[in-house]
Structure 1
Amino acid sequence: MIIESLIGTTIIFVLIVVYTRLFGLKSFSKMTGFDFVITVAIGSILGMTINSGNPSILLGAAILFILYALNYTVTLLRYKSEKAENLIDNEPLILMENGEVIWENMKASKVTEAELKSKLREANVIRLKQVKAVILETTGEISVLHTNDESIEIEDYIMGDVIRKK
């Protein structure tokens, strides 16, 4: 039993390394919600296969290959087609701008005030007037852009895809 687990774990580990080399490092990125789902699914299959043997090593290897191939295909579609990208990806949403909370967007995104405050503290914001923008990213992460220099404006390129009002 221990020998089987050792061999199975080694095989699955090597396959993950090979698949990652074959399909690219982006296989484990969290740039989109889809990427995150694939990463969690890969971890789940890995854990189930090496822990319980269900699915079997062979079936686990096949499922992992399919997940990597699906992720690669979706990534390729997103890269080659703006329509596919718009269909698959969420758009980032602004939650705060120039120190002001945009309550409509908070409500639309279901982000609570406590979550917003937590992210501001994480970013070491001590005054709301320091905040240039707080953005709910496509992955569900929250980015806080802040500075002590009020004269600095965020470049349009950085904010180009961000939805201002819901």
Structure 2
Amino acid sequence: MLEAHPLTEALNALFDLNKKTFFLILFSTFFIYIVVILYTRIFGKRSFSKMSSFDFAMTVAVGSMIATTILSDSVSFLEGAVGLLIVYLLQLIAAFLRRYPWFRKLTDNQPTLLMDGENLLRENMRSVRVTEGDIRSKLREANVIKLSDIKAVVFETTGDLIVLHKDSADDIDDWLLKDVQR
């Protein structure tokens, strides 16, 4: 009797899908998709925002739990749904606790001023690991033609670079830069 080559067996395993497995994946995918939509409607869109490290962790955890629930034999649909519920509840609790400065300080990044007018704030750039090239790219994207058109560039907690233009002689309202590290 001929023995199968290990490479052939491995390739066959890659494309092996029996009827039972197919239907389990199909139903798990359908129901976990419905559960994620339901939880997101109940707990709010904030569940997938990119505002804080908790929000990022939430997005990664949900994606991982969905994949595990759909593709793993060892995790049932109900276990996946309960796991997702717990992650959503943790997100809700974190969103509530973010009202308190001590919690925000513990969990959230602080926006950082990278340019004050035409001046690059190199120490701030180093601390958030942003290069001059990153800033130049964002300035071009924001249609800045002259450096004199810039009031400020802020590195937000989401990782976005925001360009505030000098459209008038007015100063930036202090409230807009209240929590920005200078």
TM over 0.5: yes
Length, aligned pairs only: 162
* Higher RCO structure (Cα 8 Å, ≥6 apart): 1
Q: Cα deviation per residue 1:109-159 (whole Å; 9 max; x = unaligned)?
A: 111122122211221222211111111111222211124x35132111111
1:48 and 1:120, CA in 2 relative to 1: closer, same or farther beyond 3 A? farther
**How do 1:47-126 and structure 2 match up within 5 A?**
47-53=67-73, 55-79=75-99, 81-126=100-145
Query: Could you tell me which of 41, 51, 54 is aligned with 1:31?
Result: 51
Residue identity in the other structure for 1:127: K
Instruction: Answer yes or no: is 1:7 the counterpart of 2:47.
Output: no
Give percent identity, aligned residues only: 44
What is the TM-score with the length of structure 1 in the denominator?
Answer: 0.88
Helix, strand or coil at the partner of 2:130: coil
Task: Please tell me whether the aligned partners of residues 49 and 57 of structure 1 are also in contact (alpha carbons under 8 angstroms).
Answer: yes
1:92: how far off?
0.7
**Gap change, CA 1:103 and 1:65, over 3 Å in 2:** same
Deviates more, 1:67-76 or 1:38-47: 38-47
Secondary structure at 2:171's aligned position in 1?
A: coil
Does structure 2 conserve the Cα–Cα contact (< 8 Å) formed by 1:120 and 1:144?
yes
Q: Structure 2 stretches of 5 or more lacking a match?
A: 1-20
RMSD, matched Cα: 1.7
State which structure, 1 or 2, has the greater radius of gyration over its C-alpha atoms.
Answer: 2
Q: Distance in 2 between matches of 1:129 and 1:161?
A: 24
Which ranges of 4 or more aligned residues in structure 1 deviate by more than 6 Å? none
Q: Give the gaps of 5 or more residues in structure 1.
A: none
Give me the TM-score of the superposition, normalised by structure 2: 0.81
